[in-house]
Amino acid sequence: MSQSIDAQLITTLAPYLITDYEKLRYKTTPGLKNAFINGEVREFELTYNEPKLLDYTAAFYALEKIGEDVLHFESVICRAYLPKLKELKNRFVLLHATSRQDDKTFFEQSEILYGLPKLPYYQYAMRGLGTLLSKVASLGLVDDRVQRALDAMTSLQVNHAPTSWDSIVLPPLVRSLDNHILTSTEIKHMCENAFVDYGIDGWKAVVDRPGERITFNVNQEENVLYIPHDEDIRLRKYPLTRIKMEALIAHEIGTHIVRRQNGDKSPLALLGSGLAGYLPGEEGIATYREQSVRGAVQFSGVTGYLAISWVVGLDGTPRSFRELFEIMVPYLFLSVIEQRVQNNLPLDLDTIEANVKRNAWARCIRTFRGVTGKTPGYCLTKDIIYLEGNIAIWQLLEAKPDFQQNFSIGKYDPTNKKHMSILQELGLLQ
């Protein structure tokens, strides 16, 4: 393929193509997690290492200069790059707010970058909570912890209205007799084989250190797929069986990494790092592909949506790190019980209780990354894009089933009209 029309620009911009949430790693304090989970420490303040590279004044000057250069390019380049430069500036403001422990400014920038949770999606997620409560209550488990969790979640119930996506039929869950839970080593081998199958060059799979994450993470700056450590895999709400891992490979490698590689090689190299605001489409496609392999009982991203909605107070009560934790524990406790019953797995409530507390901690860390966690209502709102993006992609495919042949062009949002105009002008759509 001939050189991308923006080859010079993308090279100049490369040092500033940061992913904000990759920079937001909090400082760990030995013993703090256990002390918090056990209730020995009620409140604490998240603090962060100063991200590398971030001379904010120099970054803003450089982005301004690139913006001046962009104006000399043809219209399609301007339409692609000017919003991207604005988005990058917002990311630097967000990260600078973290370095100053300015929760208010951070949250304002998060709203600009990712938006705020919306009532119809929250009500949809809460409808799923109602179904969960009914299922667990029908099991008739005689244990005070189960009843307390049911009572705590019932108190949060809200009315919900019908939505425009209620008619969408999701693929049924694939039932497998293979309930072997994969180790991180087995997962690493599966991912390395997938790199070969998808023709991925220059990427590696790395098992992360214990306690770092329970989710998988594609780091575009390092070209690394991070895999949870064995200690953290068992904390996940869904056991990582082979069929689940095949679905995750379709998500992480078949979508995130393939779109990155194809975008880098496309006529518009910016499609490698992504057009401004591409993430809802990116995660919508990734979760759609995951659901296509494994099936689904609801749209993807409900847990993250609920967490952020509860923090910002969509139910009228803004919450801090501790206050979200106290809700996530019973929610995850009931979710894991329901999942284990559904998959005919044994119920060891003591183990489940211990694991979901660590899972709740991980969810809170993810939700509050970038802020102190002490100010009720302020968090990183990025995770709302999973539910909203997943629903949007299913709606798109309901109207245009053949459009998925365009999904892997690069990192763009197929429900974004400005993105579609750029791709059409470049002749990239089939």
20, HSE (Cβ side, Cα atoms, 13 Å): 26
Model pLDDT, residue 122: 95
Q: Which two tokens stand for residue 8?
A: 């010079």
Residues 137, 227: one domain? Answer: yes
For residue 144, tell me if it sits in a domain.
Answer: yes
Say if 58 falls within a structural domain: yes
Where does a domain end: 66, 84, 112? Answer: 112
Q: 89 with 113: CB under 8 angstroms?
A: no
Residue 291 lies in a domain: yes
Reported as a single tens digit per residue, the pLDDT across 9-38 is 999 999 999 888 888 888 888 889 999 999
Q: Are both 127 and 73 inside the same structural domain?
A: no
- Greater confidence (197 vs 2) lies with 197
**Sequence-distant (≥ 6) Cβ neighbours of residue 373 within 8 angstroms:** 44, 45, 46, 320, 321, 322, 364
Residues 108 and 141 in one domain: no
Strands annotated E in 174-239: 204-207, 217-219, 224-227
CB-CB contact of 391 with 165 (8 Å): yes
Residues 216, 269, single domain; the answer is: yes
Judge if 211 and 122 occupy the same domain: yes
Residues 107 and 123 in one domain: no
* Model confidence band, residue 1 (pLDDT cutoffs 50, 70, 90): very low
pLDDT score recorded for residue 321: 97
> Residue 343 to residues 58, 150, 294, 295, 396: CA-CA distances in angstroms?
54, 21, 14, 14, 31
User: How many residues are recorded in the chain?
Assistant: 430
Domain shared by 97 and 129, yes or no: no
Name the phi and psi angles at 133, rounded to 5.
-60, -40
Strand partners, 225: 205, 218
- Given this model, what pLDDT does residue 51 score? 64
pLDDT digits (tens, 9 = 90+) for 127-177: 999 999 999 999 999 899 999 999 999 988 777 778 889 999 999 988 877
Q: Please provide the average confidence, as pLDDT, over all residues in the chain.
A: 93
Backbone angles phi, psi at 192, to 5 degrees: -65, -40
**How high is the pLDDT of residue 363?**
95
Inside any domain, residue 168? yes
Name residues whose C-beta falls within 8 Å of residue 242's C-beta, 6 or more positions apart in sequence: 176, 178, 180, 182
Helix axes 119-137, 384-399, angle to 10 degrees: 100
- Do 96 and 154 belong to one domain? no
Tell me which residue has tokens 């594609």.
Answer: 218
| Boundaries of domain holding 67 | 7-112
346 has a pLDDT exceeding 60: yes
Looking at the fold, whether 91 and 227 belong to one and the same domain comes out as: no
- Looking at residue 39, its pLDDT comes to 92
Q: How far apart are CA 224 and CA 260, in angstroms?
A: 12
User: Which of 53, 84, 112 represents a domain boundary (last residue)?
Assistant: 112
Q: Give Dmax over CA atoms of the chain in angstroms.
A: 71
Which of 112, 130, 164 is the last residue in one of the domains? 112
For residues 219 and 303, state if they share a domain.
yes
Do 240 and 94 sit in the same domain of this protein?
A: no
8 Å CB contact between 366 and 24: no
pLDDT of residue 53: 52
Kindly state the average pLDDT of the residues 69-77. Answer: 93
Judge whether 242 lies within some domain. Answer: yes
pLDDT for res 221: 83
- Domain annotation covers residue 2: no
Residue 288: pLDDT band (50, 70, 90) is: very high
Assigned domain for 1 exists: no
pLDDT at 344: 82
* Two structure tokens written together for 30: 């030995």
Tell me: the pLDDT tens digits for 169-222?
999 988 877 778 899 999 999 999 999 999 999 999 999 988 778 889 999 889
What is the number of structural domains in the chain?
A: 2
Q: What is the pLDDT of residue 218?
A: 92
pTM listed for this prediction: 0.94
Least confident of 48-62, 348-362, 369-383, 405-419: 48-62
The H helix count followed by the E strand count for the chain is 19, 3
Helix (H) or strand (E) holding 396: helix 384-399
**Residue 27, domain member (yes or no):** yes
What is the reported pLDDT for 384? 98
Asked whether 311 and 377 are in contact (CB, 8 A), the reply is yes
Average pLDDT over residues 100-119: 97
pLDDT at residue 364, as a whole number: 96
- Tell me which H or E stretch contains 87: helix 75-99
- Residue 147 CB: number of other CB atoms within 10 A? 13
pLDDT of residue 407: 98
Is the pLDDT assigned to residue 52 strictly greater than 70? no
pLDDT of 345 reads 81
Of 111, 97, 90, 98, whose CA–CA distance to 24 is shortest?
98
Residues 74 and 221 in one domain: no
More reliable by pLDDT, 364 or 18: 364
d(CA 357, CA 37): 6
Q: Which of 225-239, 246-260, 327-341 has the lowest mean pLDDT?
A: 225-239
CA distances from 204 to 36, 191, 240 (A): 34, 9, 20
Q: Has residue 5 got a pLDDT over 50?
A: yes
Q: Which residues contact 265 (CB under 8 A, 6 or more apart)?
A: 1, 272
Let me know: does 23 contact 222? Beta carbons within 8 Å: no
Q: How confident is the model at residue 353 (pLDDT cuts 50, 70, 90)?
A: very high
DSSP labels, 93-125: HHHHHHHTT-HHHHHHHHHHHH----HHHHHHH
